[in-house]
Amino acid sequence: MRGDRPGGKVDGLTIGGFARIWLDQPTRMVLYANQQGGFRVRCPVDDQSIAGAYGRALKAWRGGAARELVCPSCTQTHALDDCVLVPTGAFGSSAIVLSDVGTIELTERVHADLQAAIGPFRVVMRRSL
C-alpha cells in the first residue's frame, strides 16, 4: 500500500476491493451513518418508526444533551446507540474508512484480525457526494 491507495492486494480486505483507505479520527464522538438519502430509525422495543424523534435527539446531543431519547412509540428512554438504524450506523470516535468498495463485506480473515485487535466493531455503509 502506498499513501491511501490499496496497492496490488486490493481484494485482501474487502470482497470486491476498494479504491482508498484512511483512518478517520474526529476530535469528538460522531455518528457514522449513511449521509446521502438518509436512513430509517426504528424503536428497539416495538420496531415502530421513530426517525423524527431520533433526529431531534441527535441534534440535541450534538448541542450537549445526553445521547438518548424518550421514544414516542413505546414511551421508554433509549440510548441513541440502541435505536435500530437501517442501514446500520454507529457512534464512534474513530473509523477505518474505505472508499469506492466493491461490497461492504470484509474478508473473514480481516474481520477476525480486526476483532482481535480492536474488539467489537460495526461495518457501516455511508454514501456521500
- The full set of domain ranges for the chain reads 1-37+94-129, 40-86
CB 10 within 8 A of CB 16: no
Q: How confident is the model at residue 37 (pLDDT cuts 50, 70, 90)?
A: low
Q: Report CA 36 to chain centroid distance, whole Å.
A: 13
DSSP 47-91: --B-HHHHHHHHHHHHTT--SEEE-TTT--EEEGGGSEEES--EE
Q: What residues contact 51, with CB distance under 8 A and at least 6 apart?
A: 40, 41
d(CA 51, CA 47): 11
Residue 125, exposed/middle/buried by CB under 10 A (0-12, 13-18, 19+)? middle
Q: How many CB atoms lie within 10 A of CB 121?
A: 15
Report, as an integer, the average pLDDT of 20-39. Answer: 85
Note if the bond before 44 is cis, omega within 30 degrees: no
Digit-coded pLDDT (tens) for 57-104: 999 999 999 999 999 999 999 999 999 999 889 999 999 888 888 777
The pTM of this model reads 0.79
1 pLDDT band, cuts 50/70/90, is very low
- Which residue in this structure is represented by grid cell 480492536? 118
Contact assessment for residue 21 and residue 4, using Cβ atoms and an 8 Å cutoff: yes
